């Protein structure tokens, strides 16, 4: 059984030992971050520049050392849980009065810290049956859906379903269709993994990811770009892949991927376009809302060029204006299944390597040796999905979706991600709860 950040099984006595023994770059950076809060001496600003990406420090014009000192004031801390997953880690810290906090960290592709956040521990309730999941997700002001399936010997059973046919905004899970289109292009020989894409101002998007910080003219192999698109949900990487393949190819992948209503994803937006229309000039947004598909395509032709929207401009939700990528839970499940087949047919192993690089939560690999994960978010939108394969080849799919008019009702995704982890660890997917 695995323990999730915030689970009632957290607090293993060997948590500090596990952190100390982690010799990976992630473990090293996480130890440094914990010591930042627990070391006898206060941090010095000059010690930080070689640890964080420049954009992180730029978001703290008064200096990050001051923020770290505020965090230290909540201590002294004891490490009670450590969970590393690919390029992310979560450390549960217990303060002197028993209050628990979670220190979350994300590395960028250079090994520097891109995200470091300390907040109250998010506790997720146990899941021993589907009613537990429903009670946890039923929240005022939040629309949600869920789908859990198990495919065995060619037969798919629905283990749980809640509004799984309803199209909902999904944020970055649209990148699954980009991956499908890319896999098809590679299989057809029109694109090679060692081909390169080029960073240009018109293709530079906003985070998540780090490719937006590369200089103009930088060239990146397709394989690396696709890895960042899926494993790190890099928006600029996704836009580079879409530019390489063309919008038509991606829209074909939507149809071939089994979307129940492909018109909801036509025209298929890039992240750059979504940000520019959603939080840019109000008159452009109004034109998008009023236009039919042909009119929206003409609008997209006019807004090519460097992005004018900044991350700080993102605010109210716009998914109700058709500015997102709408998919039902069944649509997500179908494209996950199609990608699983793409991975099985790819002799190079690149497709499967990219899809399984980041599992989203700690996974018991003896129980689930193959795990595909994708998350997605936007203001007012949160979703997580998994395709898990057991040693006998049975495939289980789990899709959780939330949307609301107010982002505060959804939070930063820790709760929904944690609920996904709870379902995975429960035994419900294989029919034996724990």
Q: Give the model confidence (pLDDT) of 11-23 as tens digits.
A: 445 899 999 999 9
Strand partners, 386: 373, 398
The set of residues, in sequence order, having a beta carbon less than 8 Å from that of 299 and lying 6+ positions away, is 277, 284, 287, 288, 291
pLDDT at residue 207, rounded to an integer: 92
In this prediction the pTM is 0.91
3-state SS assignment for residue 14: coil
Q: Residue holding tokens 């829209």? A: 251
Count of residues making up the chain: 434
Tell me the two tokens of residue 323.
């500015």
Q: Does domain 189-324 have CATH number 3.40.710.10?
A: yes
How confident is the model over 415-430, as a mean pLDDT?
Answer: 95
One of 3.10.450.280, 3.40.50.1950, 1.10.10.10, 1.10.150.20 is the CATH number of 15-120, namely: 3.10.450.280
How confident is the model over 120-127, as a mean pLDDT?
Answer: 92
Q: Does 136 or 154 have the greater pLDDT score?
A: 136
Residues of the chain with CATH 3.10.450.280: 15-120
pLDDT at residue 8, rounded to an integer: 45
Does residue 317 contact residue 380 with C-beta atoms inside 8 Å? yes
3-state SS assignment for residue 125: coil
pLDDT at residue 9, rounded to an integer: 42
Question: Where residue 3 falls among pLDDT bands split at 50, 70, 90?
Answer: very low
pLDDT at residue 110, rounded to an integer: 86
Residues of the chain with CATH 3.40.710.10: 130-168+327-430, 189-324
Q: Residue holding tokens 């960290």? A: 105
pLDDT at residue 10, rounded to an integer: 42
How confident is the model over 289-305, as a mean pLDDT?
Answer: 97
* Mean pLDDT score across all residues of the chain: 92
Residue 57, pLDDT > 90, answer no
Q: Give percent of the chain with pLDDT exceeding 70.
A: 96
Q: Does 72 or 45 have the greater pLDDT score?
A: 72
Task: Name which of 44-58, 89-103, 127-141, 385-399 the model is least confident about.
Answer: 44-58
How confident is the model over 224-242, as a mean pLDDT?
Answer: 97
130-168+327-430 folds as Beta-lactamase (3.40.710)
Does residue 373 contact residue 384 with C-beta atoms inside 8 Å? yes
């Amino acid at each position: 059984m695995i323990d999730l950040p915030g689970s009632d099984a957290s607090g293993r006595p060997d948590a500090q030992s596990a952190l100390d023994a982690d010799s990976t770059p992630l473990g090293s950076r996480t130890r440094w971050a914990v010591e930042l809060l627990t070391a006898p001496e206060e941090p010095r600003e000059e010690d930080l520049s070689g640890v964080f990406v420049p954009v992180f420090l730029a978001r703290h014009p008064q200096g990050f050392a001051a923020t770290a000192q505020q965090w230290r004031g909540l201590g002294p801390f004891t490490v009670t849980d450590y969970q590393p997953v690919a390029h992310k880690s979560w450390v549960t810290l217990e303060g002197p009065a028993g209050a628990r906090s979670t220190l979350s960290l994300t590395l960028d592709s250079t090994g520097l810290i891109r995200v470091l956040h300390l907040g109250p521990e998010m506790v997720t309730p146990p899941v021993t049956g589907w009613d537990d999941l429903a009670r946890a997700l039923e929240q005022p002001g939040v629309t949600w859906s869920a789908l859990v399936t198990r495919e065995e010997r060619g037969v798919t059973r629905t283990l749980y379903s809640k509004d799984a046919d309803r199209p909902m905004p999904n944020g970055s899970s649209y990148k699954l269709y980009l991956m499908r289109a890319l896999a098809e292009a590679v299989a057809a020989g029109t694109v090679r993994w060692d081909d390169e894409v080029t960073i240009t101002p018109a293709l530079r998007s906003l985070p998540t990811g780090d490719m937006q910080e590369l200089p103009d003219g930088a060239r990146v192999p397709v394989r690396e770009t696709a890895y960042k698109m899926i494993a790190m949900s890099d928006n600029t990487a996704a836009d580079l892949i879409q530019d390489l393949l063309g919008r038509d190819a991606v829209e074909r992948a939507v149809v071939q991927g089994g979307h129940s209503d492909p018109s909801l994803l036509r025209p298929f937006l890039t992240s750059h376009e979504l940000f520019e229309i959603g939080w840019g000039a109000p008159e452009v947004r109004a034109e998008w809302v009023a236009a039919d598909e042909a009119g929206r395509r003409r609008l997209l032709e006019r807004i090519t060029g460097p992005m004018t929207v900044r991350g700080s401009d993102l605010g109210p939700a716009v998914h109700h204006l058709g500015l997102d990528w709408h998919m039902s839970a069944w649509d997500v499940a179908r494209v996950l299944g199609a990608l699983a087949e793409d991975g099985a047919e790819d002799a190079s192993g690149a497709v499967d390597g990219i899809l399984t690089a980041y599992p989203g939560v700690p996974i018991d690999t003896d129980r689930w040796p193959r795990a595909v994960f994708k998350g997605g978010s936007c203001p007012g939108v949160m979703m997580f999905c998994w395709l898990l394969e057991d040693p006998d080849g049975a495939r289980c799919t789990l899709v959780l979706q939330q949307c609301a008019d107010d982002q505060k009702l959804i939070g930063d995704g820790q709760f929904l991600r944690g609920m996904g982890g709870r379902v995975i660890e429960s035994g419900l997917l294989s029919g034996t709860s724990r």
